[in-house]
Structure 1
Amino acid sequence: VTRDAALRIKGAQLGVEVEDYRADTVIVDESYTGVVEMNVAPEVIDSLYADGKAALAGDLVLNQFVILHSGSQSALGRVAQVRPRPVVVRVPGTRQVFGVEAKNVRQAFALELLMDPAVPAVSLMGMAGTGKTFLTLAAALELVLEAGRYRKVSVYRPLIAVGRQEVGYLPGDLEEKLSPWMAAVYDNLFALFSDDGHGAARGAVEELLAQDVLEMAAVTYLRGRSITGELVIIDEAQNLELPTLKTILTRISHDAKVVFCGDLSQVDNPYVSPFGGLAALIEKFKGNALFGHVTLDKSVRSPLAEFAATIL
């Protein structure tokens, strides 16, 4: 019994009965997206609008979002209580942070979790172009630069090449070596500051880095740290194993927040299955008041990006 694929192959060739180590396997509910639609009586929606909250029947979990329908009426809510019966509080259908407005309901739900300091751990999943990293960076800059809720934004990415197309060793110092891995983060940051022009956007990002208000690094350098007063973004989190995710979470202090962004259809790490790592974390954490999750289901990048992400 081993997780070492090479050893299993060798054992099979020698006629030894082999199998993967599955003692810590998590049975993942693939249908959990953090959002559920429900048909309810008109009185429930009336209560939600009048009182800001309403009681529901059903199997719901804390911080799950609900889209309620009753004929032509509809309302949005978030589960704030599950016992003795679920209670949802009203959630606005749109929200704007750092000049970015939610383009659909699920993006509004994501911003609700990102902006809530009472939820220190958030995960956002979705196919390419759904806005996971962009929304998270917008919320992070709002919370750090405008609200002063955290002192710093720290972005970490695993050093896993797309399609495992490794390019070998890179020249330069640490910052120069990490630069290609952080290109996607830079793209999103430049877009957030794009109103001032590309040159000004680049200057704004460089100033944040120089002032240590923004940090970008590899996940490798998280072990042993104690993260205080920071909003930590783990991008491409689908490529991290569950023990690594545990290491990250145990670094987070009481005044910090961590956000995991990932797409289970783009797992490039050969040691991570789509049902391990981030998916297992969501399954284990869902229903805890300290955690919230939303799966974004609509690409907002371009029709081509949406078509490719859906078909291929």
Structure 2
Amino acid sequence: MLKLSLYFSIRGVMQQVLLDTSIILDNTQNLIDLHNKNMELFITDIVLEELDRKKDQQSESGYFAREFFRRIHNVSKESMTSITPQLSTDYITCIVFQAQDICVPLFVITRTKYRTAHSDYGFNDARIREVAKDYKLLLLTNDIALRVRFMIENIESSSLNQAAITSPKEISFIHKVALLRDGSDTEEFSQSDTFKKFSNWHIFEIDEVDMTDSMRYETGRKHFGIKQNDTLEILDLDSIIATQKPYILPLNVEQKLAYAILLHANNYVSIITGSTGSGKTLTALQAGIALQKMGVVDGIVYLRNTITANDKEAELGFRKGDEDQKLHYFMYPLFSSINFIIERLKEHSLAKRIEYKGETKGFDKEHATQYFLDKHRIEVMDIAHARGITLHNKFVIFDEVQNASDATIKLIGTRMGEKSRIVFLGDYNQIDHPYLSRLRNGALSLLLKAQKDDFIFGLQLKHTIRSEIASWFDSNF
């Protein structure tokens, strides 16, 4: 079976396809992707009716049905397509689906009287089959049963299962390579096809090798570098950490890499994923504090989705307390990292024990977290409040991005002003959003972009520091 992209290239410049309801309910982004591949898209009135029935459902399908109708901005009788009605009872109109500043024309084939009066299988499927056959359109559907029926009747069909990532753990940003200790082969490696295939910010784990009497051997030393502007830039991780002196030292190489690259002068957008206990929130927080001390930013903004395992929607209004109290309910990951830093500081410094305990400044222990927030200019914000604002010169931490849709990521990303940076944090195994899944969510969308786009840095933290019980549940469910 031909892959869809190859099939389209063989068929011609402008492939005309008929979309089944399943394509739109899978993800409305599919319409943008197909349009960008120079497809002319058709749907039937049957599909519109099915979407209309789905839009009130509190499910993923309902969400995408509502999203579809929200994005329709124009309806015209002028179809502007080379296809003409095949029957006197057929009408072709054009509706415009608009998203991401892209307008996608969708041609709606309306048949007022179908020949199919009844069917042994799905009645609507039979009517879609009727239109596809009459107009000689390739049917695009993710419905396997429908594809089998089309195959039996020798009607062309294909599937589009591109939205889900089947093996997210296999996404890697660290590539191993062996280079000479004297660096004499570094330039050659930078010009190699192996190096060129990676986008900026990919990490290279370098095994140091040496030559003695024509014998090549490993010295046992490791270095790390990143691809930056088509060159290999070596990172002196220990030197960076020694210079910045973070409150809590990184516990493993992954945390060191994340911390160092978040501080890089050219890094403005990052995605870091990892399970609970991987240190992603603590690492990002300390990077933000360091950037503030360096004068790169003048404050930290912490954003987190107000969705929990018990909530179907991010509704703060149902929580007790004023706005700050409601918002703080969702900020436990940040506060946990802050309290961990405070306790470690108090263990090693009498001055810090006084500062955060209150012997001299009158702060009770319960106010220590707020004092830390104020001291380091850390602001917590609900995502809903990000509309209509611009964040200038801030280090933004967007936590729990796995519970964010692509639309929410775009909302926050477009709020970034001059000199701001943003790091997205998440764990794609912890999905609370009713319309997202482990194989399709904001964290994975960003990871995929980081694999190919030079603008965004990505890293998966695989080492966790947690109890044996917690590790077992994380691995087995």
Question: What is the TM-score with the length of structure 1 in the denominator?
Answer: 0.82
Letter in structure 2 aligned against 1:154? V
**Cα deviation per residue 1:148-205 (whole Å; 9 max; x = unaligned)?**
3211111011111125488982221101111211122111111122222574675453
Q: 1:216 aligns with which of 380, 387, 407?
A: 380
Identity of aligned residues (%): 19
What is the distance in 2 between the residues matched to 1:122 and 1:175?
A: 28
Gaps of 5+ in 2: 1-20, 26-53, 66-120, 129-140, 144-158, 210-217, 347-352, 359-364
Counterpart contact for 1:47–1:53, Cα < 8 Å? no
Q: Find the aligned partners of 1:208 and 1:103 in 2 and give their Cα distance.
A: 22
Question: Matches of 1:113 and 1:131 in 2, distance apart?
Answer: 15
Partner of 2:246: 98
Name the structure 2 match of 1:161.
308
Larger mean CA deviation between 274-283 and 253-262 belongs to 274-283
Pick from 414, 424, 442: which aligns with 1:260? Answer: 424
Distance 1:93 1:119 in 2: 16
Give the length in aligned residue pairs: 301
Measure the CA separation in 2 of the matches of 1:262 and 1:302: 20
1:279 and 2:428 are equivalent in the alignment: no
Is the aligned partner of 1:32 residue 2:171? Answer: yes
Residue from 184, 190, 196 that aligns with 1:55: 190
Determine the C-alpha separation between the residues in 2 that align with 1:116 and 1:304.
Answer: 36
Larger radius of gyration: 2
Write out aligned runs for 1:122-161 (5 A).
122-144=270-292, 146-161=293-308
Following superposition, the deviation at residue 33 of structure 1 comes to 2.4
Do structure 1's residue 68 and structure 2's residue 206 form an aligned pair? yes
Q: CA RMSD in A?
A: 3.5
SS in 2 for 1:193: helix
Greater relative contact order: 1 or 2 (C-alpha under 8 angstroms, separation 6 or more)? 1
Once the 2 structures are TM-superposed, how far is the Cα of residue 285 of structure 1 from its aligned partner?
A: 4.2
TM-score by length of 2: 0.56
Unpaired runs of at least 5, structure 1: none
Offset at 1:100? Answer: 2.1
Distance 1:170 1:76 in 2: 46
Aligned to 1:170: 319
Q: How does 1:193-272 map to 2 (within 5 A)?
A: 193-194=342-343, 195-196=345-346, 197=353, 199=357, 203-210=367-374, 213-272=377-436
The DSSP-based 3-state class of the residue aligned with 1:224 is coil
In structure 1, what is the equivalent of residue 91 of structure 2? none
Q: Residues 211-234 of structure 1, C-alpha deviation per residue, up to 9 Å, x if partnerless?
A: 781111221111111110111100
Q: C-alpha distance in 2, partners of 1:103/1:210?
A: 27
TM-fit CA distance, 1:65: 0.4
Residue 302 (structure 1) shift? 4.0
Cα contact 1:150–1:231 (8 A) shared by 2: yes
Supply the AA of the counterpart residue of 2:284.
Answer: T
SS in 1 for 2:447: helix
Letter in 1 for 2:235: V
Secondary structure of the corresponding residue to residue 290 of structure 2:
helix
